[in-house]
């Protein structure tokens, strides 16, 4: 019991520092992405350090759901990768401790983190999102800091373009000013040129005060542009000093939080459910109202329903019996019986009624579409309260087994794998979010899509890691690829420094002759290529090929103990007899005939199989030649 408790403590001490480090790194990365996205709304506004720090604090809280799963994935990968790389995980397994027991304390820890993530999403995140978006919108509305450059037209003052040729270095004097005022409209511009000027703010910082010295004022006097004489009238004023008051709010005004709090980002689960129920009730009532109105519309001037009063008080809607027409009516004959004026009146009235109905239905459709969009956005926000908790557990059950399988620690391979997996998760999650937001999928399907895709991956990796499967072993994948594609495989032998079992020449000759006879027997059995039907019905003998491959491998293993370099060099020339899938498809005669009948696919498959069979016969002929050469070497004294 003490050993298990020490193991739990060891796993927690190993995981927690890595988790805290990776969480800070991931949060910093997403914060840099946030800063890059909204940098234009922050720079040049003259905002105080406290205001910017407050925005970053609430932004960091808002971005926790994005950084937390990535941090768990990376920390679990690094933890179990380090344990596997330093053979600590192997030592635990050899002492009888399973991988599940090693993961047990971290599973409990991550379960607590998942529960905390839910309460964070439900209680903290709405408040932080309200504060962040309120600050961000307030910063967007703030006017930029007044910093007029030299020799450039300054356009940041609404309705005014200001050009300054030179500025006083240590003061606020401006020289050679040119002001183009279009605050009254482009048809009535005013141009002011001054030798110098001084710029300042009113005490409430809501207006700019521009004191101008030694200049001229030019202004158009008429709005139409010309007089009755066909000439434009302008006014020119020369001044010694003049004061201009320009509206320019330099204060930072924080918006009220109430407007943002009413949005879906500022509500918890209870408030989201209330909003969804109230909006859904409005949608249902509007749909019922539209249904009643459609049923009440008269058909060809005949009402389909009527209001009846029962018991002197109850009003009910009754269906009107349809009018029985004894013979079909010819509408064209009725229209021809009317005068042209009456026909125009009928057609015009019908067109107006159809246009009015279309506009009314379009307006109602827009209203219903907006309400359904509100329902979807609130539903998305409600489901996202739960997806973060599940994502934390899923990423742990992906990262921990994957780290135990690849056995690579540090920040190299784990970072690459974590980034690739998180990008895959983010793409699927964003795709599901957009499908749910646009109403193409139900909300729950779109939001839970990423979890549904990654959960089987976590179960698969955990199962493989617990069973010590070589799912990511490159040799196993290469062998499978060779079996599918028929890639050639070469042998590698090295002289042994210490030989325990010496090679007996007589036994070696016996094994070499046995290999030669087995290869020759197989070639005699299959001297030429097989026919189309013969291949699909029989193929090559799979058991004989496997026995031949084992015989050659055993002979090579035995000769690898030889001290003769020539024997070793020649034993390497034995080809590797591969067990390709194209050698033998099935033992069932009927199934083989059915596969041959699928002509569009069977013909190219047969051509590939012929090439593989030809290569096999060539390799067996090479094995016969190598056996003869080895026999000569072994017989040489």
Summarize the confidence of residues 393-414 as an average pLDDT: 82
Tokens of 483: 């079996």
Note whether 6 and 89 are same-domain residues.
yes
Summarize the confidence of residues 555-578 as an average pLDDT: 82
- 10 Å CB burial of residue 441 (0-12, 13-18, 19+) is middle
Q: Which domain holds residue 227?
A: 153-247
Summarize the confidence of residues 546-552 as an average pLDDT: 88
pTM over 0.75: no
Q: Which residues pair with 302 in a beta bridge?
A: 299
Note whether 456 and 492 are same-domain residues.
no
Please tell me the distance from the alpha carbon of residue 279 to that of residue 276, in angstroms, as a whole number.
Answer: 5
Note whether 113 and 167 are same-domain residues.
no
Instruction: Assign 494 a pLDDT band (cuts: 50, 70, 90).
Output: low
Please tell me the distance from the alpha carbon of residue 66 to that of residue 270, in angstroms, as a whole number.
Answer: 23
Last residue of a domain, one of 247, 273, 306: 247
pLDDT tens string 145-167: 566 778 788 777 777 888 888 88
Residue 405 domain-assigned?
A: yes
pLDDT computed for residue 305 by the predictor: 66
CA-wise closest residue to 535 among 620, 598, 602: 602
CA-wise closest residue to 563 among 504, 622, 627, 489: 504
Neighbours of 613 (CB within 10 A): 20
126 touches 265 (CB < 8 A): yes
Please tell me the distance from the alpha carbon of residue 226 to that of residue 234, in angstroms, as a whole number.
Answer: 10
Residue 350 domain-assigned?
A: no
pLDDT tens string 91-140: 887 778 888 888 889 999 999 999 999 999 999 999 998 888 888 877 77
Instruction: Assign 489 a pLDDT band (cuts: 50, 70, 90).
Output: low
Q: What percent of the chain has pLDDT over 70?
A: 83
Note whether 185 and 233 are same-domain residues.
yes
The most distant pair of C-alpha atoms in the chain lies apart, rounded to whole Å, by 130
Tokens of 133: 């978006």
Summarize the confidence of residues 289-298 as an average pLDDT: 72
Residues for the chain: how many in total?
637
pLDDT tens string 255-288: 777 777 888 888 889 989 998 898 888 888 888 8
* Triad 439, 441, 444: Cα angle to 5°: 105
Note whether 435 and 550 are same-domain residues.
no
pLDDT computed for residue 416 by the predictor: 81
Please tell me the distance from the alpha carbon of residue 169 to that of residue 195, in angstroms, as a whole number.
Answer: 17
Residue 78 domain-assigned?
A: yes
Note whether 492 and 631 are same-domain residues.
yes
Please tell me the distance from the alpha carbon of residue 367 to that of residue 440, in angstroms, as a whole number.
Answer: 18
DSSP letter at 121 equals: I
pLDDT computed for residue 224 by the predictor: 45
On the CB side of 512, how many CA atoms lie within 13 Å of its CA?
A: 25
Please give the full DSSP string across 94-146, using - where no structure is assigned: HTT--HHHHHHHHHHHHHHHHHHHHHIIIIIHHHHHHHHHHHHHHHHHSPPP-
Tokens of 195: 């030798």
pLDDT computed for residue 328 by the predictor: 74
Note whether 133 and 186 are same-domain residues.
no
Note whether 583 and 615 are same-domain residues.
yes
Residue 254 domain-assigned?
A: no
Residue 472 domain-assigned?
A: no
Least confident range from 4-8, 170-174, 320-324: namely: 320-324
Q: What percent of the chain has pLDDT over 90?
A: 10
pLDDT computed for residue 230 by the predictor: 46
Residue 462 domain-assigned?
A: yes
Burial 320-359 (b: 16+ CB within 10 A, else e): eeeeeeeeeeeeeeeeeeeeeeeeeeeeeeeeeeeeeeee
pLDDT(517) > 70: yes
Last residue of a domain, one of 247, 266, 295: 247
pLDDT(141) > 70: no
Residue 307 domain-assigned?
A: no
pLDDT computed for residue 28 by the predictor: 92
CA-wise closest residue to 387 among 457, 463, 453, 461: 453
The distance from CA 162 to its chain's CA centroid, rounded to whole angstroms, is: 47
pLDDT(534) > 70: yes
617 touches 558 (CB < 8 A): no
pLDDT(341) > 70: yes
More confident residue, 56 or 318: 56
C-alpha distances out from residue 97 to 105, 338, 353, 358, Å: 13, 98, 81, 73
Tokens of 2: 């003490």
How much is the mean pLDDT over the chain? 80
Note whether 440 and 396 are same-domain residues.
yes
pLDDT tens string 353-402: 888 878 887 887 788 888 888 899 999 999 999 998 999 999 999 988 88
More confident residue, 529 or 65: 65
Summarize the confidence of residues 206-214 as an average pLDDT: 81
pLDDT(229) > 60: no
Please tell me the distance from the alpha carbon of residue 421 to that of residue 399, in angstroms, as a whole number.
Answer: 10
Note whether 500 and 567 are same-domain residues.
yes
pLDDT tens string 165-207: 888 776 678 888 888 887 776 667 788 888 888 877 777 667 7
Tokens of 115: 């529960």
Neighbours of 432 (CB within 10 A): 23
Residue 239 domain-assigned?
A: yes
Note whether 526 and 577 are same-domain residues.
yes
Last residue of a domain, one of 434, 466, 498: 466
pLDDT tens string 421-448: 888 888 998 899 899 988 889 999 999 9
pLDDT(487) > 70: no
430 touches 449 (CB < 8 A): no
What is the number of domains present in the chain?
3
More confident residue, 488 or 370: 370
pLDDT computed for residue 147 by the predictor: 66
pLDDT computed for residue 227 by the predictor: 45
Note whether 80 and 205 are same-domain residues.
no
pLDDT(615) > 80: yes
């Amino acid at each position: 019991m003490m050993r298990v408790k020490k193991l739990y403590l060891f796993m927690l001490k190993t995981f927690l520092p890595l988790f805290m480090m990776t969480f800070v790194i991931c949060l910093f990365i997403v914060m840099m992405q946030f800063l890059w996205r909204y940098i234009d709304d922050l720079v040049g506004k003259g905002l105080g350090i406290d205001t910017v720090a407050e925005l970053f604090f609430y932004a960091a809280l808002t971005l926790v759901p994005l950084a937390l799963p990535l941090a768990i994935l990376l920390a679990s990968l690094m933890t179990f990768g380090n344990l596997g790389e330093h053979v600590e995980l192997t030592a635990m397994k050899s002492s009888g401790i399973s991988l599940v027991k090693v993961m047990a304390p971290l599973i409990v820890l991550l379960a607590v983190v998942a529960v905390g993530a839910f309460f964070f999403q439900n209680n903290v995140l709405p408040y932080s999102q309200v504060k962040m978006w309120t600050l961000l919108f307030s910063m967007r509305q703030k006017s930029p800091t007044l910093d007029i450059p030299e020799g450039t037209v300054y356009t940041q003052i609404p309705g005014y373009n200001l050009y300054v040729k030179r500025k006083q270095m240590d003061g606020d004097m401006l020289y050679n000013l040119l002001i183009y005022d279009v605050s009254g409209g482009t048809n009535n511009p005013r141009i002011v040129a001054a030798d110098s000027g001084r710029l300042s703010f009113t005490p409430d910082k809501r207006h700019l005060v521009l004191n101008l010295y030694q200049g001229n004022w030019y202004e158009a006097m008429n709005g139409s542009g010309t007089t009755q004489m066909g000439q434009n009238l302008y006014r020119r004023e020369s001044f010694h000093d003049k004061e201009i008051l320009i509206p320019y709010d330099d204060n930072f005004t924080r918006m009220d939080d109430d407007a943002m709090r009413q949005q879906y980002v500022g509500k918890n689960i209870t408030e989201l459910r209330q909003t969804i129920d109230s909006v859904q009730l409005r949608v249902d009532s509007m749909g019922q109202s539209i249904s009643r109105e459609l049923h009440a519309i008269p058909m060809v001037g005949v009402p389909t329903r009527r209001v009846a009063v029962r018991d002197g008080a109850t009003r009910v809607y009754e269906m009107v019996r349809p009018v029985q027409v004894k013979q079909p009516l010819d509408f064209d004959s009725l229209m021809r019986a009317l005068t042209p004026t009456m026909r125009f009146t009928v057609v015009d009235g019908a067109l107006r009624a159809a246009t009015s109905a279309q506009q009314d239905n379009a307006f109602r459709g827009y209203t219903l579409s907006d309400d359904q969009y509100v329902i979807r956005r609130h539903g998305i926000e409600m489901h996202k309260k739960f997806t973060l908790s599940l994502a934390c557990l899923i990423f742990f059950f992906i990262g921990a087994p994957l780290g135990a399988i690849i056995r690579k620690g540090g920040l190299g391979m784990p970072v690459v794998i974590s980034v690739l997996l998180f990008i895959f998760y983010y793409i699927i999650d964003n795709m599901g979010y957009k499908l749910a937001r646009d109403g193409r999928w139900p909300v729950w399907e779109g939001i839970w899509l990423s979890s549904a895709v990654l959960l089987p991956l976590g179960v698969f990796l955990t199962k493989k890691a617990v069973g010590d499967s070589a799912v990511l072993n490159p040799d196993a994948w290469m062998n499978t690829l060779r079996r599918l594609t028929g890639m050639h495989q070469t042998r590698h032998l090295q002289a042994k420094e210490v030989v325990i079992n010496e090679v007996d020449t007589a036994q070696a000759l016996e094994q070499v002759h046995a290999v030669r006879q087995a290869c020759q027997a197989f070639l005699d059995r299959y001297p030429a290529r097989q026919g189309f039907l013969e291949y699909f019905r029989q193929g090559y003998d799979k058991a004989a090929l496997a026995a031949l491959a084992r015989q050659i491998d055993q002979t090579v293993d035995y000769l690898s103990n030889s001290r003769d370099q020539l024997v070793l060099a020649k034993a390497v020339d034995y080809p590797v007899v591969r067990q390709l899938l194209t050698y033998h498809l099935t033992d069932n005669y009927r199934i083989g005939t059915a596969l041959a009948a699928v002509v569009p696919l069977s013909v190219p498959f047969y051509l590939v199989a012929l090439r593989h069979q030809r290569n096999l016969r060539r390799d067996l002929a090479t094995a016969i030649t190598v056996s003869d050469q080895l026999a000569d070497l072994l017989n040489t004294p």
